[in-house]
Structure 1
């Protein structure tokens, strides 16, 4: 039992430490997916978008190498399940994209802003957590489970064990699984690097380049922490299992469901079955990492709502993000970095929905 507790503690405290760095670096470099999309749509400026894409590239390369050398098994993650709930991923992603644009930032950005003193973002995260919890276990969950999730494709019927692009290639071409993984990861990585670094201005922005590398590497370390260090024998069942995560399987960074679990833990603190998990620890760590940067750079300041209309948009956006993030199984970090790093087809659909929802909302806001 003591070894089990130690494994869970390693995962939780390790996740917290990684999140401190994530929050500090993301705040310092102004890392923001919604901001990156807005820059492209409104100003045709690709600097922050290239930073996001570089973080994705590093995450894909690192995660694929861990998988190739047998250090982790991302096939056990929620992203790799052979059931492709394509409607949930697209609808959830689109709603999240709309919501984050109305709220002026995704879950990660609002965690960063809370660390910088934003009361507005604290309200956003509260409503996001309530909505996400309702989508996990409440009113929204029934509608999601009965209407959206059943519209799916069971890839196992076609002989595929997962929805990984590498697994799909291996099944279609007959290549060995590890070879297919190297091929897909290599092609995607090289293609992204070519696009990212063809821009001279981005190549010269050392802060964005290093920041993206660090953030992408943290996603990889999150996989290793929960999927290797936190993988051990359950003393009750004598089966190998993953400790310290809400999903009871391998995880890396994601911020929508963890905000809901954080709210649940605070409301039901005396429930001994609830514990601080990897996801909860990372959400808290991002806030404190951002706070550290705000204090260091002397940018900490309290920020409220600009108007009633601003409050309305923030609440609507937060509610859409909570439901959409759970339905799409992740946010701009949960799917946009962590899910994508597994090369899951569903993560591509979710990310496409997020981008489409955000772009459509930005264009609607700028229609005049």
Structure 2
């Protein structure tokens, strides 16, 4: 009888498969948060934004139903810590929004473009990874830890153990926490669904509707993969752990820090302590999923920089995204989808920063 597949292996390969699908669907549907914001600012068109909001609605309802029925524990995710670093979230999100706008795409979009043949995106991702790694463990990290992360709102002084909106609602209204959780998730999800589907044109766009539902379910599946399948007893230490995640707790899709960890793995390949994690597998999966779609539809095209000025602008955006994404604990996917799906207060602050940074930069570019 063959040996059972280890939880770590299932998490890594499962993450790769989920991200492969994510990359292919994002390429096919042109899923892009920066593009969605740009459509509104420049053309007052809400099509791609409705797709993004539908993805959020599916992710919120699905993730919190898993939490409600005890299949995962979102309170243990990094987004739900009772220590709210609001300045890091807001400023980091704002800088990420600025960076993704001048780089013409967020981390996920650049991974998708790389799969489609963009050498420009490869260069952007390398500089983003260097900046992110410096923010995690290097010079930028010292600035972040000394000046931003020290500005903290301790929610535990109000009796809260997480920064989830459901627990805040329970505290304010006296509702049981599980009731507050279900109420918050359903209200948020249904509110978004009403707004999204009130537009007849969007309802008729089967590609965007289907794509959004699939992408939202992938966020939910990733939580289940790392928080249920990947949760168990470590045979070496006999401790109950989350396997193969960089945060050592349950994770869903996020691409800034995992891009940095991917670069670290390549640079320290012979270090036997290095392992492919869920995050690294998802970075690879998005690129290959996008590549598979581009090749199968004959849309694969080599792409480079248009000019020296284009190179300079793209690299500046990459550095800002690396610093901002780590500081805010996520990007348009990490906070905008995965974080928001937990209904964490900090994720909404980070998302506000991202959107604000993008809008301000677009207005500045117009002028």
Residue 202, structure 1, aligned to residue 217, structure 2: no
Task: Kindly provide the CA deviation profile for residues 274-305 of structure 1, in whole angstroms up to 9, marking residues without a partner as x.
Answer: 10000000010000000011001111010000
202 and 158 in structure 1: CA distance in 2 versus 1, 3 angstrom threshold:
same
Task: Kindly provide the CA deviation profile for residues 92-128 of structure 1, in whole angstroms up to 9, marking residues without a partner as x.
Answer: 0000000000000000000000000000000000000
Specify the alignment match of 2:214 in structure 1.
Answer: 214
Task: Kindly provide the CA deviation profile for residues 113-169 of structure 1, in whole angstroms up to 9, marking residues without a partner as x.
Answer: 000000000000000000000000000000000100010101011100100000111
* Partners of 1:249 and 1:5 in 2: CA distance: 20
Structure 2 SS opposite 1:163? coil
* Partners of 2:137 and 2:86 in 1: CA distance: 21
* Ranges in structure 1 where 5+ consecutive residues have no aligned partner: none
Specify the alignment match of 2:327 in structure 1.
Answer: 327
291 and 280 in structure 1: CA distance in 2 versus 1, 3 angstrom threshold:
same
Specify the alignment match of 1:279 in structure 2.
Answer: 279
Specify the alignment match of 2:102 in structure 1.
Answer: 102
Specify the alignment match of 2:53 in structure 1.
Answer: 53
Give the CA deviation at 1:5. Answer: 7.1
Specify the alignment match of 1:351 in structure 2.
Answer: 351
Specify the alignment match of 2:16 in structure 1.
Answer: 16
What TM-score do you get using the length of structure 2 for normalisation? Answer: 0.98
* Partners of 1:65 and 1:77 in 2: CA distance: 16
Structure 1 SS opposite 2:34? helix
Structure 1 SS opposite 2:209? helix
* Partners of 2:120 and 2:198 in 1: CA distance: 38
Structure 2 SS opposite 1:251? coil
Specify the alignment match of 1:159 in structure 2.
Answer: 159
Residue 140, structure 1, aligned to residue 140, structure 2: yes
* Partners of 1:332 and 1:274 in 2: CA distance: 27
Q: Mean Cα displacement is larger for which, 19-28 or 3-12? A: 3-12
8 A Cα contact 1:245 1:251, kept in partner: yes
Task: Kindly provide the CA deviation profile for residues 29-49 of structure 1, in whole angstroms up to 9, marking residues without a partner as x.
Answer: 000000000000000000000
RMSD (Å), alpha carbons: 1.1
8 A Cα contact 1:93 1:325, kept in partner: yes
Mapping 1:136-285, distance limit 5 Å: 136-285=136-285
Give the CA deviation at 1:237. Answer: 3.0
* Partners of 1:115 and 1:213 in 2: CA distance: 22
Mapping 1:77-92, distance limit 5 Å: 77-92=77-92
8 A Cα contact 1:118 1:304, kept in partner: yes
* Partners of 2:7 and 2:237 in 1: CA distance: 16
8 A Cα contact 1:4 1:234, kept in partner: no
Give the CA deviation at 1:3. Answer: 8.4
Give the CA deviation at 1:230. Answer: 0.2
8 A Cα contact 1:4 1:235, kept in partner: no
Specify the alignment match of 1:112 in structure 2.
Answer: 112
8 A Cα contact 1:4 1:243, kept in partner: no
Q: Mean Cα displacement is larger for which, 314-323 or 171-180? A: 171-180
Structure 2 SS opposite 1:241? strand
* Partners of 1:339 and 1:242 in 2: CA distance: 18
What TM-score do you get using the length of structure 1 for normalisation? Answer: 0.98
* Partners of 1:10 and 1:316 in 2: CA distance: 37
Task: Kindly provide the CA deviation profile for residues 239-295 of structure 1, in whole angstroms up to 9, marking residues without a partner as x.
Answer: 211001111100000000000000000000111111000000001000000001100
Give the CA deviation at 1:234. Answer: 1.8
Residue 312, structure 1, aligned to residue 312, structure 2: yes
Give the CA deviation at 1:236. Answer: 3.3
Q: Which runs of 4+ in 1 moved over 3 A?
A: 2-5
3 and 33 in structure 1: CA distance in 2 versus 1, 3 angstrom threshold:
farther
Give the CA deviation at 1:235. Answer: 2.5
